[in-house]
Structure 1
């Protein structure tokens, strides 16, 4: 009888320890992912407006992201027109750059690694086009080579 009680207590203690380890591991992974995203090197982003737009995208702040664009901004995905507002609604907060590798065109073209929940990880570009008033009128996105 004593052995049965000791065995039951041992199993309970082992279960609590295992659960604690699993949660701790999961929390550490989440913290590392957040840390990695928050510590991304954005020093290559030289255009101040593009940098602010980029940071809004990375934070998942679609409202701030959209505020930099004209009302009827155009979106082209690998050269194909897409619904810009639907794209922002669906993707912002779920998709993000994981690295910024190259910036061109006076800081308006960003190339880097990108993560999506649907398609996984791949190299991509965001190319921002400005109108005469300094608002973004077009965004070209696509898979980079």
Structure 2
């Protein structure tokens, strides 16, 4: 069963999922701390290139199935126009200012 985005526990993660699903690049970028980093399937990636390719140019969408670690770890179905739908995990590091300093994703 999918968890409604509005019910996600961590405010930064909730805003991240909302921005992805609304295809709102400006809102998404405002959630990231300066120098934010990310990894996909265990390998660090260029953040700007990855989010353009995997989220914004390919209409990415996250449906969260389960959250843990105070809402900073998600199991979700992720879909985009490039890869279709897959089961993924997402782990977030949130800085003291409430912005996301790192996220890691990959197949679950």
TM bin, normalised by shorter chain, reads: 0.7 to 0.9
5+ residue gaps in structure 2? none
TM-score, reference length from structure 2: 0.85
| Count of aligned pairs | 104
1:61 and 1:92 in contact (8 A); partners too = no
* Unpaired segments ≥5 residues, structure 1: 1-39
- The offset of 1:100, in angstroms, is 1.4
Selected match of 2:12 from 49, 68, 82: 49
Larger displacement relative to structure 2 (116-125 or 84-93) = 84-93
Structure 1 residue runs of 4+, over 4 Å off? none
1:110 corresponds in structure 2 to 74
Larger Rg: 1
CA RMSD after TM alignment: 1.6
Q: Which has the higher helix share?
A: 1
What's the TM-score once normalised by structure 1's chain length?
0.65
Higher strand share: 2
Larger RCO of the pair (alpha carbons < 8 Å, separation 6+): 2
